[in-house]
Copies of this chain bind each other. A is one copy, B any other.
């Protein structure tokens, strides 16, 4: 059951049927209706593989994320999928936990001739040059001339740190992820900006964006002599590990330790009096990323733009009311 059948059923030529169903070019209103009815009667469904092959437009968009077990990416993916579906695209998803996997994923995606790629870079130095437009989401790679949609993490973590300073904290540690991720650097930069000019020593622990590191780093912090009174976790995963460590070590939040984090998973609200955190506008970021991508499909050589969106602060009792 193909276009040819529809054309026959409608008593029109092959091309007219095509033009009608993909509405391009002129078709007389009457003919148009006849074709549409015929298609309907036969239950015609276009073959996107064939259409894509011929037109070089697969109507497939790829999403390349480190791990969509991570609720953060899951929510982002869902938002992207929603936008895309409304525009008649399908989402094809690939995950990559390291540079090698990422390269493989990109090549595999290229084989399907995806129209565009939304990428959360895993290896920021990977040369992901492909023939379709790419937009980076959340993090930024080191590639020049790639559009990106980010959150203003720097300001967010500056604010988080300032709130801690206001409450009298002078020993504040920050646990971040991979040293080569823009998100680690930006978030740490916000922290450093806040303590610059004060006598508060900088203590940033680089590791990786997962709970194992959150737990380990927290233990490290408490095994040191210097008595840290506040910890900032750069991601919910890190926060999860840090919280686990506190529970196991009998450290109470906020009594023994002030705590702040990033994003807003549901469990933040259930943990004690809630966790203070900086929350990125994930859905909007996703929407804008799709927007940028489709823009570039229309005009492939428009200037690559970097969009940085502001986030908001989620209140929560975890930073306490201030030091005695």
A47 CA to B111 CA in the complex, in Å? 5
A286 CA to B243 CA in the complex, in Å? 30
Given contacts A69-B75, A74-B74, A266-B267, contact A91 B94 (CB under 8 A): yes
A87 CA to B77 CA in the complex, in Å? 23
Tell me if A99 counts as interface (CB < 8 A to partner B): no
Residues on the B chain within 8 Å of A240, using CB: 266, 270
Other-chain contact of A49, B49, B67, B108 (Cβ < 8 Å): B49
Tell me if A58 counts as interface (CB < 8 A to partner B): yes
A194 to chain B, nearest CB (A): 28
Tell me if A8 counts as interface (CB < 8 A to partner B): no
A interface residues, how many (CB within 8 angstroms): 46
This chain's copy number in the assembly: 2
Asked if A244 and B270 sit within 8 Å, CB to CB, the answer is yes
Residues of A within 8 A of B (CB): 45-50, 52-53, 58, 60, 67-69, 71, 74-75, 77-78, 81-82, 85, 90-95, 105, 107-113, 211, 240, 243-244, 247, 265-267, 269-271
A117 to chain B, nearest CB (A): 13
Asked if A92 and B92 sit within 8 Å, CB to CB, the answer is yes
Asked if A81 and B95 sit within 8 Å, CB to CB, the answer is yes
A144 to chain B, nearest CB (A): 22
The residue on B at minimum CB distance from A107 is B45
Asked if B108 and A90 sit within 8 Å, CB to CB, the answer is yes
Asked if A270 and B269 sit within 8 Å, CB to CB, the answer is no
Q: List 20 A-B contacts (CB under 8 A).
A: A45-B111, A47-B113, A49-B49, A49-B52, A49-B58, A49-B112, A67-B78, A68-B68, A69-B74, A71-B74, A82-B95, A85-B94, A85-B108, A90-B92, A90-B109, A243-B270, A244-B270, A267-B270, A270-B270, A270-B271
Asked if A71 and B71 sit within 8 Å, CB to CB, the answer is yes
A52 CA to B69 CA in the complex, in Å? 30
Residues on the B chain within 8 Å of A46, using CB: 111
The residue on B at minimum CB distance from A91 is B93
Residues on the B chain within 8 Å of A94, using CB: 81, 85, 90-91
